Structure 1
Amino acid sequence: MPYPPAGSLMIRKAVLLTVLAALLAMAGLAGTAAAAPDRARRAADPLVLGQITPAIARSPSAPITIAGTFTGTSASVHVRLHYSPGRPFRLRSEMAAFLADRGYVTTRYSTKIHFAAVQSGRLPFQLSVTPQELGMSQFGVYPLAIEVLDANSGQRIAIKRTFLTYAPEDAEIPRIGLAVALPLTERPHRADDATFMDDELRASITSGRLAGLLKVAGTAAGKQATWFVDPAVLDDVHAVSAGRYTVKTADGGRRMPADQAASRWLADLRTALADATVFALPYADPDLTALIHNGLEAPAVAAIQRGGAVATELLGKQVPTSILWPAGGRLDRDTLDELAVSGVRTVLLDGDTLPERQAAGQETATPGTTAATPREHPEPAVRIDTVADEQVTALLADPVLSGILTDDVSGTGDAALLARQRFLAETALLASQRQEQSRSPAAGTRATGRGGTRAAGRATEVQLIAAPRKRPWTPNPTALSGLLNAAAEAPWLRMVPLTEAGTGNAPTARTDLVYGDQDRGAELGRSYLGTVRRLSQQADAVATITKEHTPLFNAAILRITSVAWRGDRKRTRFAKQLDAAIANRLGKVTVIDTPRTMAGTDGQVPVSVANNLDKDITVKIRVTSKDASRLAIDVPGGVFETDLITVLPGRTQLVNVPVTVPGGGGDATIGIQLLTAEGKRYGKEVHVTVHATDYTGIALAIVGAGSAIMLAALVLRLIRRRRRPPAAGEQPGRAPGPAPQTPSAEPAGPSAEPAGEAASDRSAEPGPAERSPRPEPARPSGPSQASGRSQPSGPPEPAARAQEPAVPADRPPE
């Protein structure tokens, strides 16, 4: 088959690339077109409300000022109000439907501005209306919508829906208790205790999240809130303010001076919270559900215990941990049971985590959508059975109010204003419902908004809880302070601490805890928590190896489990830094791993442990053989383990391990593992090479051969001695030695000569061929010397005679 020309191939490739690019562009345009409306709505809001004053109408004739700005291309517009005279909301679900434009409509409208000219595309406006004009006659929440229409076509251009609460000064208005829980948290900035991974804490203290939260805590309404403080935040701020600290950089670390602003922030926070209700979050606000789901119960419990102690020390007041607030107010049954076993008795949860049980035929609200279908009669507390002996009290934050606190209102629009108006309206409606209850205590049933029924008169006092759903939480301090101040001044609200919530309502049938796939997917991942588990085990070993246990890395382990790391990749850098710090500490206690040599079928192998710490350590040493056929540990079971031994600072401890060589020897490896007093592994197992040689048989052969040679030499020596002629005075066949003395009755005469000596002299005389004259040594005179004898003189004895055996010292000289 002929190939097409090269030019043709290039043209085809160009065409294909062009078509592919066009298809991708169309797909991109389609995606852009789908997302464009949402972005456009967020980016360009033609109608922004800037003022609704007062936030609560108290007099029927007092004017209510509404101001705002319209931005658009119309030449002139109408501005009108929509309202429903004499028709306050009865249900929270009606309020939700009105906001979402889902079926609830106002009954009247009033055009306040006619044919207003829009100059340069912008029209500021301000209008005034009284509660009497809007038909407000009783305490309650009323709908209010501001609409802008094109003056020429009459088409709607924009509309804003909000609420007006009317509370006449002369009306009898019931009060309900409102507890607002606010978290003071921050993403961790330290890895190990000595190393800050960034210097962003300074900015947070001066102009960021922590500065804003301090501003709220210092207001009158902020002092009435219940604060949940992360002790790790206080710990980090204290570390920055106490002295010089190290910030990690690409080329090592940079030393920073103590931050005076951090010192002032901590002092101001102590003052602001001195009279407030304060609880301690678990240290570093850990991801409790993720820890429990991955078998890390110990760090979760340790975080709770550590939190109260650190917060109490740094705030200068007693800070309890008796109320546990998990991240987002969400947890599942497994986590609750584990916490209950650990002693937790009260938890603060989001209300839709424990929904009411629906009657037959009713729809069950999807978790996370309860802001659209709010609970009509919220209960602030329920009791939950657990595997522990005691029940756990669940304080339930209202989902709608909590969502209002959570929403980001930091922009330049009217989000903060609308949030304030809705927060007041939601609480006022619940108070008005209580008022209706008190007026008809004998009523058998009342509507719930979904067609169900509820026994009337069972609630004597409604309590409300509001708590942000997201952590870390960065509120707009100005908007939050305005909302809290408005709530504190509302005639139907009484700000109470969280400890007083949940005392009024009777229990309602509820389902079990709702914790779905989306909740699990948001947790810290299994792989990451595997690293946390390994580091936690190593940190425990570091803490327990010293004679006095020193938990150096416990706080750092908790910091890398913070819920703030959900979806944040910076957590990997923190974990690596902590890993390096723990490894450096582990390396201060080492096993000397130089090779060893052992000869023989059994013996001992020395193992040395060096302590380079500045404290005494107590360890155990466990030794195993990695090749028992060449080298076996000579203890039952084949595993050698010492009792606890103490190694002084800067010293080395030697331990001898009994071993045997079952075969012919060779290179073998032993594994040496250090253990803490509790039996936990300290560091990695160290492998040491031992050169084992079975020298026993060779040594026996060498010793046997040497012994045989020595025996043969001795035998030859004895044979030679027996074969040489007897020396003078030596009897044949006798070993050299002194001649036996024969006792005589009479002393020997001067001429007498001992027979033995004479025989010896004769036997020692050389033969004719060997005879040569030699001088006779001088003999002392005495009775035993023969008189008249003389010895011939001659030349010295030949050299060959010098090799003969020496005469014993006690033998008479020749």
Structure 2
Amino acid sequence: MIRLALALLLAASAALTPLAVAQATPAVPALSPVTTADEDAAPVRIVLETLSPAIPGERSTLRIRGRVVNASDTVIEDISVQLRRSSLPLPTRADIDTAADAATEAEGREPTDVPLPGTVIEVTDRLPAGEFASFSMRVPVSSLGFTEPGAYAFALEAKGREPGVDEFEVRQGMLRTFLPWFPRGAAVEPVSLAWLWPLAGWPAQSVSGVLLDNQTPEELQPDGRLGELVTIGQRHQATVSWIADPSLLQTIQGMAQGYRVVQDRTIVVGTEDAAAATWLEQVARATRVTGVQTLPYADVDASSLTQAGMSTDVVRAVTQGPRVASTALGDQTDGQVYWAPFGRMDQPALDVLASAGVTTVVLSGDAMPATDGQAVLDGQAIAALPTDAGAIRAVLTDPGLTRLLAAPPRTASEVITTRQRFLAETASVALTLQEAGAPDRTLVAAPPTPRWTAASTLLTPLLRATRSAPWLQPVTLSELLTEPTPTTSRRRGGYGEKARADELTRRYVAAIARANEDLSTFTSIIDNPTGVTEPFSEALLRASSSAWRSQPATGTELLESIQVDLDAQTAKVRVLSEGAVTLSGDSGKVPVTIANDLDRSVTVGVVLQGRPSLRLDSRPIEGVQIEAGKMASVDLSARVVGGDPLAVDVQLLGPDGEEYGSPAEITVSSTAYARAAAWVVALAFVAIVVFVIVGIVRRIHKARMASSRTAAGT
């Protein structure tokens, strides 16, 4: 009761003379000695539901609403909540890190924290284990005692006691956040803030346009990932900078005209064509304000492909991206950007991208740290990247802001603390740069990957707050890219074993390479491959997407479906011949029939391959043209060695002599060896007959001679 009376007295004095209280609090230590409970145990969790306004003004009233939750296994009594703040603004981002994780004040400053008189409220006399109690308070900002502009550490402290354990009230829990304070007229040079707003997905679409799963249709819903991204971006279209994957736009454009999707291992007609049309129309309207930068088609994994010697695939993705995006949106795009997976890039891939025409790469600021002795670097968002094709620009995202946007907050309390942390970090950068006398600088806020989940509960109020914050001014990516590149000396961060291990696996990329070779062979025999090559090559680029780093099983499923479709198309040009062929001599003609079930003419070669090859002598025939849906027959000259039947493969060939498709199997034998064998048998029979006759004659002759000698002796 004594503590309650003291709290009421202080609250009354704060209400009567808020300015006096505000001026006195920075130098006031804790109101009374308070024993601090082990914060790691956190018997009580404080959950925020409202903290408004995010950026308070001098005449504002701070509104706070939340709950205290008993996370322990015992009753806690006399629970109260009190506000605390740091005595001075936190000068650096390192101090903000420290304050978020531990104390409410940067290390080395006194006093370490300041409890705010008049902000103690009784929440409940008794809170059983596992239960919660709500609280709310309204505090005039003028009574908080802010003195200097900047970002203050701000905390809600829960006190209470465990019956039979605590004699006095102790700290039972603490929720730490931040509160920026920039009164009207505060001298601060605003920092430019660019928001990168990527639209990308997991391009699981087969050669024939069938979606392999329902992920994209679900994400197009108003509460889906892509639906929320566009809705939020539309509301702040003058602030955000759109970056889109052309393959996503192409897929959704196709969906708007009707689509098929795999559900429960069955291909069915999709039902979200109207949602697709609406989404694409929203994107087209929103991007007319600030334009849209495009990623290479399907956001291919440039490092993985270049490492495997498939740089031509990277070039193809870069060159066809703007055309596909312009077709989908009905307008020209503003430029092309490559978003490095996880913010890092190896030099060979950079060289390929630059040679293909990419002029901008999005990297993490950690990937290009400054060399020793450089000035403050926060806010240097552009850097030069040397390549074999000349220098290109790196847009450096702010690592701290990226971490805050990496995962969507799960609760209202996380939304509030993330929002306030974002505002505090940008405010700290603005003041740090101003004190250092740095020229105009820019921060780039971006997610860690183009495939991100934007929580409207966080981003809508955060975007609104960043537009009204006096220390920030919005800038678009297009505007940023017109600025001169700073001459600050930087070094490239490493691209080591971990970065290489995060790439698409070598086995997977090798399978893509084999499919590309099969596609090249297939299209090489088609007299006019227009309209045949594109669906397969685009599907293989989709299989090469960096998206499959996070969903390798779906990537494998996509690649396997492409190979099945390619094998099926390849098999439409095939050899029909089968069975046995008998040559009238040791050489002759082998008739071969070839079928073309494609919808266009082809030109092939054909060759006979003996098993073993030493027993067959045959030359291939080239330039056999077969019209669409027709068959053609040719005769191949062949000479067979040996009398036994010979297994022969009838193999189709491409224009450069490469094998095409699977061979047909026939058996070839020669009658020449059969006739020779008959003569041998006949001669052997005659020889035997002669031998027998000679033997008989000799025996008769011997018998006669013996008889003559007997008669003479008699």
TM-score (norm 2): 0.79
* Structure 1 or 2: more helix by fraction: 2
Structure 2 residue 544 is matched with structure 1 residue 578 = no
Q: Offset of 1:623 from its aligned partner? A: 4.9
Match for residue 457 of structure 2?
A: 478
Match for residue 100 of structure 2?
A: 99
The structure 1 residue matched to 2:502, chosen from 499, 522, 538, is 522
Q: Please tell me whether the aligned partners of residues 384 and 392 of structure 2 are also in contact (alpha carbons under 8 angstroms).
A: yes
Distance 2:449 2:488 in 1: 27
Matched to 2:439, the amino acid is T
Superimposed CA distance per residue, residues 442-497 of structure 1 (whole angstroms, 9 cap, x where no aligned partner): xxxxxxxxxxxxxxxxx421111111003421121232122112112222222111
Distance 2:208 2:40 in 1: 43
Distance 2:566 2:321 in 1: 23
Superimposed CA distance per residue, residues 107-144 of structure 1 (whole angstroms, 9 cap, x where no aligned partner): 42225215432565433223344555444333322222
Distance 2:178 2:98 in 1: 13
The structure 1 residue matched to 2:549, chosen from 519, 544, 566, is 566
Structure 2 residue 60 is matched with structure 1 residue 50 = no
Distance 2:389 2:228 in 1: 42
Q: Please tell me whether the aligned partners of residues 252 and 280 of structure 2 are also in contact (alpha carbons under 8 angstroms).
A: yes
Q: Offset of 1:680 from its aligned partner? A: 5.6
Q: Offset of 1:75 from its aligned partner? A: 1.9
Q: Please tell me whether the aligned partners of residues 609 and 652 of structure 1 are also in contact (alpha carbons under 8 angstroms).
A: yes
Distance 1:351 1:311 in 2: 28
The structure 2 residue matched to 1:64, chosen from 62, 65, 80, is 62
Q: Offset of 1:265 from its aligned partner? A: 2.1
Match for residue 499 of structure 1?
A: 478
Q: Offset of 1:515 from its aligned partner? A: 2.6
Distance 2:638 2:40 in 1: 76
Match for residue 194 of structure 2?
A: 179
Q: How does 1:524-543 map to 2 (within 5 A)?
A: 524-543=504-523
TM-score (norm 1): 0.70
- Larger deviation: 87-96 or 566-575? 566-575
The structure 2 residue matched to 1:144, chosen from 154, 157, 161, is 154
* Change in CA separation of 1:189 and 1:630 when aligned onto 2, cut-off 3 Å: closer
Q: Please tell me whether the aligned partners of residues 47 and 69 of structure 1 are also in contact (alpha carbons under 8 angstroms).
A: yes
* Change in CA separation of 1:379 and 1:677 when aligned onto 2, cut-off 3 Å: farther
Matched to 1:126, the amino acid is S
Distance 1:544 1:404 in 2: 51
Structure 2 residue 120 is matched with structure 1 residue 113 = yes
Q: Please tell me whether the aligned partners of residues 616 and 639 of structure 2 are also in contact (alpha carbons under 8 angstroms).
A: yes
Match for residue 397 of structure 1?
A: 397
Q: Please tell me whether the aligned partners of residues 195 and 240 of structure 2 are also in contact (alpha carbons under 8 angstroms).
A: yes
Q: Offset of 1:406 from its aligned partner? A: 1.6
Q: Offset of 1:566 from its aligned partner? A: 2.6
The structure 2 residue matched to 1:554, chosen from 537, 547, 556, is 537
Structure 2: segments with no counterpart, 5+ residues: 1-37, 162-166, 684-714
Q: Offset of 1:39 from its aligned partner? A: 13
Q: Offset of 1:380 from its aligned partner? A: 0.9
Match for residue 125 of structure 1?
A: 135
Match for residue 80 of structure 1?
A: 82
Distance 2:152 2:39 in 1: 29
* Change in CA separation of 1:675 and 1:149 when aligned onto 2, cut-off 3 Å: farther
* Change in CA separation of 1:608 and 1:101 when aligned onto 2, cut-off 3 Å: same
Structure 1: segments with no counterpart, 5+ residues: 1-36, 361-373, 439-458, 635-639, 706-814
Superimposed CA distance per residue, residues 688-744 of structure 1 (whole angstroms, 9 cap, x where no aligned partner): 433245459849989xx9xxxxxxxxxxxxxxxxxxxxxxxxxxxxxxxxxxxxxxx
Matched to 1:248, the amino acid is V
Instruction: Give the superposed CA RMSD.
Output: 3.3
* Change in CA separation of 1:391 and 1:424 when aligned onto 2, cut-off 3 Å: same
* Change in CA separation of 1:93 and 1:189 when aligned onto 2, cut-off 3 Å: same
Superimposed CA distance per residue, residues 793-812 of structure 1 (whole angstroms, 9 cap, x where no aligned partner): xxxxxxxxxxxxxxxxxxxx
Q: Give 3-state SS (helix, strand or coil) of 1:75's partner.
A: strand
Match for residue 712 of structure 1?
A: none
Match for residue 204 of structure 1?
A: 219
Q: Offset of 1:336 from its aligned partner? A: 1.8
- Larger deviation: 690-699 or 541-550? 690-699
Q: Offset of 1:613 from its aligned partner? A: 1.0
Q: Give 3-state SS (helix, strand or coil) of 1:274's partner.
A: helix
Q: Offset of 1:312 from its aligned partner? A: 0.8
Match for residue 545 of structure 1?
A: 525
Structure 2 residue 603 is matched with structure 1 residue 618 = yes
Q: Give 3-state SS (helix, strand or coil) of 1:150's partner.
A: strand
Q: Please tell me whether the aligned partners of residues 465 and 501 of structure 1 are also in contact (alpha carbons under 8 angstroms).
A: no
Q: Please tell me whether the aligned partners of residues 225 and 454 of structure 2 are also in contact (alpha carbons under 8 angstroms).
A: yes
Match for residue 430 of structure 1?
A: 429
* Change in CA separation of 1:330 and 1:375 when aligned onto 2, cut-off 3 Å: farther
Match for residue 351 of structure 1?
A: 365
Q: How does 1:146-545 map to 2 (within 5 A)?
A: 146-150=156-160, 153-206=168-221, 207-219=223-235, 221-243=236-258, 245-249=259-263, 252-256=266-270, 259-358=273-372, 377-386=378-387, 388-409=388-409, 411-438=410-437, 459-501=438-480, 503=483, 506-545=486-525
Q: Offset of 1:256 from its aligned partner? A: 4.2
* Change in CA separation of 1:285 and 1:681 when aligned onto 2, cut-off 3 Å: farther
Pick 1 or 2: higher relative contact order, CA cutoff 8 A, min separation 6.
2
* Change in CA separation of 1:126 and 1:250 when aligned onto 2, cut-off 3 Å: closer
* Count of matched residue positions in the alignment of Structure 1 and Structure 2: 619
Q: Give 3-state SS (helix, strand or coil) of 1:323's partner.
A: strand
Q: Please tell me whether the aligned partners of residues 502 and 549 of structure 2 are also in contact (alpha carbons under 8 angstroms).
A: yes
Q: Offset of 1:250 from its aligned partner? A: 5.5
Distance 2:638 2:39 in 1: 77
Distance 2:44 2:614 in 1: 82
Match for residue 644 of structure 2?
A: 666
Q: Please tell me whether the aligned partners of residues 461 and 504 of structure 1 are also in contact (alpha carbons under 8 angstroms).
A: no
Q: Please tell me whether the aligned partners of residues 295 and 339 of structure 2 are also in contact (alpha carbons under 8 angstroms).
A: yes
Q: Please tell me whether the aligned partners of residues 83 and 144 of structure 1 are also in contact (alpha carbons under 8 angstroms).
A: yes
Distance 1:359 1:499 in 2: 31
* Change in CA separation of 1:88 and 1:199 when aligned onto 2, cut-off 3 Å: closer
Q: Offset of 1:649 from its aligned partner? A: 0.9
Q: Offset of 1:347 from its aligned partner? A: 0.5
Q: Offset of 1:340 from its aligned partner? A: 2.6
Q: Offset of 1:621 from its aligned partner? A: 3.7
Distance 1:268 1:125 in 2: 41
Q: Offset of 1:585 from its aligned partner? A: 1.1
Matched to 1:143, the amino acid is A
* Change in CA separation of 1:194 and 1:39 when aligned onto 2, cut-off 3 Å: farther
Q: Give 3-state SS (helix, strand or coil) of 2:89's partner.
A: coil
Q: Please tell me whether the aligned partners of residues 242 and 258 of structure 1 are also in contact (alpha carbons under 8 angstroms).
A: no
Distance 2:286 2:556 in 1: 36
Q: How does 1:643-792 map to 2 (within 5 A)?
A: 644-661=623-640, 663-677=641-655, 681-695=659-673, 698=676
Matched to 1:399, the amino acid is P
* Change in CA separation of 1:412 and 1:92 when aligned onto 2, cut-off 3 Å: closer
Q: Offset of 1:90 from its aligned partner? A: 2.2
Q: Give 3-state SS (helix, strand or coil) of 1:575's partner.
A: helix
Q: Please tell me whether the aligned partners of residues 460 and 505 of structure 1 are also in contact (alpha carbons under 8 angstroms).
A: no
